[in-house]
Amino acid sequence: MAKKVFVAATGQNCGKTTISISLMHQARMKYKRVGFIKPFGPKVLLYNDFMVDMDALLMAKTFDMEDDIAIMSPVALHRNFTKDYLAGKLDDLSLKDCILEAVQEMEEKYDFLVIEGAGHGGVGAVVGLSNAKVAKLIGAPVMIVTESGIGKVIDAVHLNLALYEREGADVRGIIVNKLIPNKKDITRKYLKQAFEPINVKVIDGFNYSPILANPTLSHISKLFDLPLQGDLGEKSRIIHNIQLGAASSQRVIDGLLDSTLMIVTSSRDELIVTLSSLYHIPAYQEKIAGLVIAGHGPVSEISQQILHDSNIPYIRVEETTAEAFTALSDDVAKITYEDQEKLNWIMANGENDLDFDAIDALL
């Protein structure tokens, strides 16, 4: 039987997938066969005729487990899944059976199994499959990932613990992620005072990093559901700043920050031409990650030619610059298998930031 861990969270965007990637990477250094499963997933896509959760596909692609993709995502919550379930079209017991059979198959195949939940402890309850219930169903010890902080972390963890305890799931510890380095010691001190008396171990996760928090050009392309044009070799480039090209061309250029995605109106020919021309210069290429060219009006023929010849990455959207900026500002970048720079960073830094042996000892 495989040793296993259920990676839970206090909510979305805590860094649960980042922790799972690091656990996979480090477990492979210690165990011969390491597997991954996402019992149910609300963010699905079609891959090789299978509806699979995007995190399951990420792990399959990253760790060369594509042969297992069908069982790595046993219950994929497609768009109308909840409505079908509530209408009585799906059998609760069959969903549980799908998960149990998949986990049992993976346990027989692997020595160590990372099981990733979805959101907070109650996610999935609408179809009878809350994270807490699934963790109990498959008998997996739980580690809850939370963002950094003191009061809000204690509140959020206790809220989740109540559900895990009600379902009889076994929570062994919390992983405090996105730590602020100069607050790490004091955060750890108070969280240990709060949780270790109730036998919940506190373990450091990753320090906060803009590399993980910020989107890639590929992600922006998917956000707008439009193709990235220009140098596609830059699709994994991480965007550290988003700026509006509203001022004069000279002021825009003078104000460029590191790895900037510039949002520019399609009628700003002089700015499009200037940015495209500067992209050939290495010092400016470090600052200009790419363009989002917004607006209904066409880009002039000569500007389009210069844009094309420069090979600068760009996405052409019909939204206004304000709408594009709002969409980008409200977005939270999720890691995909195409984000190689982020994946490499997680694996390299995880060996220092995340104490795998401490987690392994709790299982």
Please name each of the domains of the chain with its CATH number: 3-211+336-362 (3.40.50.300), 215-330 (3.40.1390.20)
CA-closest candidate to residue 348, choices 112, 5, 29, 7 = 29
- Better-predicted residue by pLDDT, 81 or 138: 138
Residue whose tokens read 């970048």: 333
**Predicted pLDDT of residue 85:** 78
Is residue 175 within 8 Å of residue 144, measured between CB atoms? yes
Is 20 buried (19+), middle (13-18) or exposed (0-12) by CB count in 10 A? buried
Average pLDDT over the chain, rounded to an integer: 92
**Predicted pLDDT of residue 213:** 83
**Predicted pLDDT of residue 128:** 80
> Is the per-residue pLDDT at 139 higher than 70?
yes
> Is the per-residue pLDDT at 129 higher than 80?
yes
**Predicted pLDDT of residue 306:** 95
Q: Is the Cα dihedral 40, 84, 167, 123 positive or negative? A: positive
**Predicted pLDDT of residue 277:** 95
> Is the per-residue pLDDT at 127 higher than 90?
no
pLDDT digits (tens, 9 = 90+) for 22-34: 999 999 999 999 9
Confidence label for 162 from pLDDT (cuts 50, 70 and 90): very high
- Looking at residue 236, its amino acid is S
- Global confidence as pTM: 0.83
Confidence label for 92 from pLDDT (cuts 50, 70 and 90): low
> Is the per-residue pLDDT at 333 higher than 90?
no
**Predicted pLDDT of residue 93:** 63
Enumerate residues 6+ apart whose C-beta is below 8 A from 114.
Answer: 4, 5, 7, 20, 23, 24, 27, 34, 35, 36, 37, 59
Q: Could you say which DSSP state residue 90 is in?
A: S
pLDDT digits (tens, 9 = 90+) for 174-184: 999 999 999 99
Q: What is the mean pLDDT of residues 117-135?
A: 88
pLDDT digits (tens, 9 = 90+) for 255-314: 999 999 999 999 999 999 999 999 999 999 999 999 999 999 999 999 999 999 999 999
> Is the per-residue pLDDT at 42 higher than 90?
no
pLDDT digits (tens, 9 = 90+) for 60-72: 999 999 999 989 9
